[in-house]
A and B are shown apart, each in its own frame.
Chain A
Amino acid sequence: MRLILTEIRRASQRRLFRVALLGAVAGVVAVAIFNLGTSDPNVESARAGARQQIADCERFADEERSRIAEKGQDALGEAFFDCPAVSEIVEYYDKTFRYTDAVSAMVEGGAIFGAVVAFFLGASFVGAEWGSGNIATFLTWEPRRGRVLLAKLAAIVVVSAAAVAVLLLLVVLIHFPVAFWRGTTEGANGAFWGSVAESAGRAAGLAGVFAAAGGSIAMITRGTAGAFAIGGAYAGVIDPLLAFWRDGLLRPWLLFRNVPQFLGYAVERPITNDFTVGSDGGASFEFVVLSAWRPTFVLLSYVAVLVALGYAAFRVRDVT
């Protein structure tokens, strides 16, 4: 535990971590300011916008009717010139800041961003150890390499997950005043808070998983750049290629296919087994929220394999 606490201290004191955290905080604040500036709780201005669009529509319809009548062309039918009612389009002009919708979207979207940053932080945390040569110094203080690796990974998992949780808490808190001045907190009931807490928990968990993956790969490559390259190659080339090659067979086991499910996103699921186009001309897919158990198992399996490989490489190879 002492070793883990020391590593947590080191991870949290790193300049890269602090810069990333400050950048993320600045980003959250900027988004809140943007939302504050672009939102407008005045329903009447939304109705005015809708009415203006309807007026434009009716003017255009009149002009078309006149043009057609002058040229003696066949009438297109009145249905062609139908304009919508205010109630049908007012939502497009409604700039009211809806706290529950906005916060849910930001928490879910922030999870992916947090996971990517956590991967880089994890890789950099372990990679810097090799880059500075401090790993040799450290091993003369704690020669049990398994403990060293696990302490480092535990530290970066804890720090990354905590940072993501804190940032999402900031998202939740900072948008309260935005909703107060520029919108509504309608729908912010117990079920909503439960859902947000669950999403934030999954986001923090995903950050931890990605941080551990980054750290493990950096332990194999003995540097940050190599870990970045492998992470980028997997995300940009290998995972998409595998999906393209054997989508039906590999889909359940591919990392980036499991991430959305883990986060509780609604994902595409084929209605039929043969992936054929439906009789109505649309694809036979439906969007559903699936259980997080299997993606959790898949993600943890990926991390377990990477940690095992990292440990094997660390244990066997000389530190020169």
Chain B
Amino acid sequence: MTAIEIVGLRKTFRRRLGRANLAVDGLYLRVPAGGVYGFLGPNGSGKTTTIRCLLGLVRPDEGECRMLGANTRGGLAEVVDRVGSIVETPSFFGGFSGRTNLELLAGARGFSRARIDEALERVGLADRAGDRFRTYSLGMKQRLGLAAVLIKDPEVLVLDEPANGLDPAGLKEVRDLLRSLADDGRTVFLSSHLLGEVQAICDSVAILSRGRCIAQGPVDEVLAVRGGNAFVVRAAKIREAKRALDQAGLMATFRGDKSLRVIAQSQGPARITRALAEAGIYLTELRPEEISLEAVFLELTGEES
């Protein structure tokens, strides 16, 4: 089942003076129901515009967004109680307390006060709920935004940088919270710059660059496509080892820790060990390189730009 579907989304922001800015350029995306889906991209790649289109805040020029089967242009009201969202830094009334802000939102859709208390407790903001929103730190504002999302007990969570401004302990809490929500069968659509966090909790990712999706799929698959043929080689005579590997037609480069990064398209370990053995060099370490999502992200978005 698909929780979110984006088909051919295109959005251009027209300025009064100067040229138009193409924010999203024919985006296709299918987010399966259940699990955490990471939505990545450098600044200006169109993540927030996509999310705003998804939530009905911005009208796309072309294309269609569907959430829980409803077209978000016109049909969002049918599913809005099943969707919780944060767009960039959560915005509330500065002069009202956190609790009052939540009561005003919840009251508009008829959610009970018990849900508000529960949500505040869950994000660790119950003690400060009576304070004015404008006195909150960025991390507390994010927590209040998450509390607003949780009031609905939503099936789909659309979160734009929910970890912004959180301290390490807060980051871990949010990570655990999102993971537990996904484990309960909910869909978390998560836009974030914190790639380590995304890799730690996401089941699938999409990487956006210049308004287009340049990679998407389960995290393991995205990593494997880019990192599956790289190996780390360590040997006593590292310079001779590099020379021997180069002569064998394997591309070897120095890493910072007195080891080599070797690219081998097929039968990598066998070719590497044979080349080194023929040169009389003995391995002390040979392992597949663990490529991070960050490395893939930088590589992909770097290629694009």
Residue ranges of A at the interface with B (Cβ–Cβ < 8 Å): 2-3, 5-6, 9-10, 13-15, 128, 132-134, 136-144, 316, 318-320
Contact = CB atoms under 8 A, between A and B. Distances in A.
Contacts of A318: 13, 52, 57-59
Interface in B240-275: none
B104 A319 contact: no
A319 B77 contact: no
Contact of A10 (B13, B83, B94, B104): B104
Contacts of B52: 136, 318-320
Contact of B95 (A15, A141, A316, A319): A15
B109 A137 contact: no
A3 B110 CA distance: 9
B24 interface: no
A319 B58 contact: yes
Contact of B105 (A133, A136, A138, A316): A138
A308 to B, nearest CB: 19
Interface string B89-102: 01111111000100
Contact of B80 (A2, A128, A141, A316): A141
A6 B110 CA distance: 10
A133 B95 CA distance: 13
Contacts of B94: 132
Contact of A137 (B56, B80, B92, B107): B92
B181 interface: no
B294 to A, nearest CB: 29
A320 B48 CA distance: 9
A57 B90 CA distance: 77
Interface of B: 13, 52, 55-59, 76-77, 80, 83, 85, 87, 90-96, 100, 104-105, 107-110, 148
Contact of A140 (B55, B93, B100): B55
9 interchain residue pairs of minimum CB distance: A133-B91, A6-B107, A319-B57, A318-B58, A143-B76, A6-B108, A143-B56, A140-B85, A134-B91
A144 B77 contact: yes
A318 B108 CA distance: 22
Q: Which of A3, A15, A141, A320 has the most CB of B within 10 A?
A: A141
Nearest to B151: A141
A13 B13 CA distance: 37
Contacts of B13: 318, 320
A137 B105 contact: yes
B95 A14 contact: yes
A143 B105 contact: no
A86 to B, nearest CB: 60
Contacts of B59: 316, 318
Contact of A9 (B55, B80, B90, B104): B104
Contacts of B96: 10, 13
A320 B93 contact: no
Contact of A320 (B58, B95, B105, B110): B58
Nearest to B90: A137
Contacts of A139: 55-57
Contacts of B105: 137-138, 141
A143 B77 contact: yes
A134 B101 CA distance: 10
A10 B92 CA distance: 12
A144 B72 CA distance: 11
Contacts of A10: 93, 96, 104
A128 B109 CA distance: 21
Contacts of B55: 139-140, 143
Nearest to B59: A318
Contact of B91 (A15, A132, A141): A132
Contacts of B109: 2, 141-142
B248 to A, nearest CB: 56
25 contacts: A2-B108, A6-B107, A6-B108, A13-B96, A13-B100, A132-B92, A132-B94, A137-B91, A137-B105, A137-B148, A139-B55, A140-B57, A140-B85, A141-B108, A143-B56, A143-B76, A143-B77, A144-B77, A318-B13, A318-B52, A318-B58, A319-B57, A319-B58, A320-B52, A320-B58
Contacts of B148: 137
A282 B13 CA distance: 63
Given A9-B104, A143-B76, A134 B58 contact: no
